[in-house]
Amino acid sequence: MSDKFHPFIPSATPPSWLGVMGGGQLGRMFVHAAQMMGFKVAVLEPARDCPAGHASDHLICADYSDEKALAELAAQCVAVTTEFENVPAQSLAFLADRTFVAPSSACVSIAQDRIAEKRFFIECAAKSGVLPAPHHIVASDADIDAIPDALLPSILKTVRLGYDGKGQARVTTREEVRAAFGKMNGVLCILEKMLPLAYEVSVLAARGADGNSVVYPIAENVHRDGILFTTTVPGPNVTAECAGKAQAAALAIIEQLGYVGVLCIEFFVLQDGSLVVNEMAPRPHNSGHYTIDACVTSQFAQQARAMARLPLGEVRQHSPAVMLNILGDVWFDGDSDEPREPAWDKVLALPGANLHLYGKDDPRRGRKMGHVTFVAPTLEQAQASLQAACAILGIAA
393 has binding-site annotation? no
54 has binding-site annotation? no
245 has binding-site annotation? no
How many CB atoms neighbour CB 221 within 10 A?
A: 21
200 has binding-site annotation? yes
DSSP bridge partners of 41: 18
259 has binding-site annotation? no
Query: What is the sign, positive or negative, of the torsion defined by CA atoms of 199, 325, 163, 68?
Result: negative
Instruction: Report whether 139 contacts 264 (CB < 8 A).
Output: no
167 has binding-site annotation? yes
Nearest to 114 by CA among 226, 224, 189, 44: 189
CA 55 vs. chain centroid, Å, equals 20
Provide long-range contacts, Cβ within 8 A and 24+ apart, for 271-276.
271/196, 271/197, 271/198, 272/196, 273/198, 273/239, 273/241, 273/242, 275/129, 275/130, 275/242, 275/245, 275/246, 275/249, 276/130, 276/131, 276/132, 276/133, 276/195
165 has binding-site annotation? yes
360 has binding-site annotation? no
CA distance 6 to 268: 38
Contacts of residue 219, defined as CB under 8 A and 6 or more positions apart, other chains included, come to 201, 202, 203, 204, 231, 232, 233, 235, 287, 288, 290
279 has binding-site annotation? yes
157 has binding-site annotation? yes
37 has binding-site annotation? no
Cα dist from 102 to 16, 44, 112, 182, whole Å: 16, 15, 16, 37
192 has binding-site annotation? yes
CA distance 117 to 113: 6
3-state secondary structure of 158: strand
User: What values do phi and psi take at 175, rounded to 5?
Assistant: -65, -40
278 has binding-site annotation? yes
Instruction: Report whether 200 contacts 268 (CB < 8 A).
Output: yes
83 has binding-site annotation? no
273 has binding-site annotation? no
**Binding positions for ATP:** 114, 157, 162-168, 192-195, 200, 223, 278-279
Binding site, by residue number, is 114, 157, 162-168, 192-195, 200, 223, 278-279
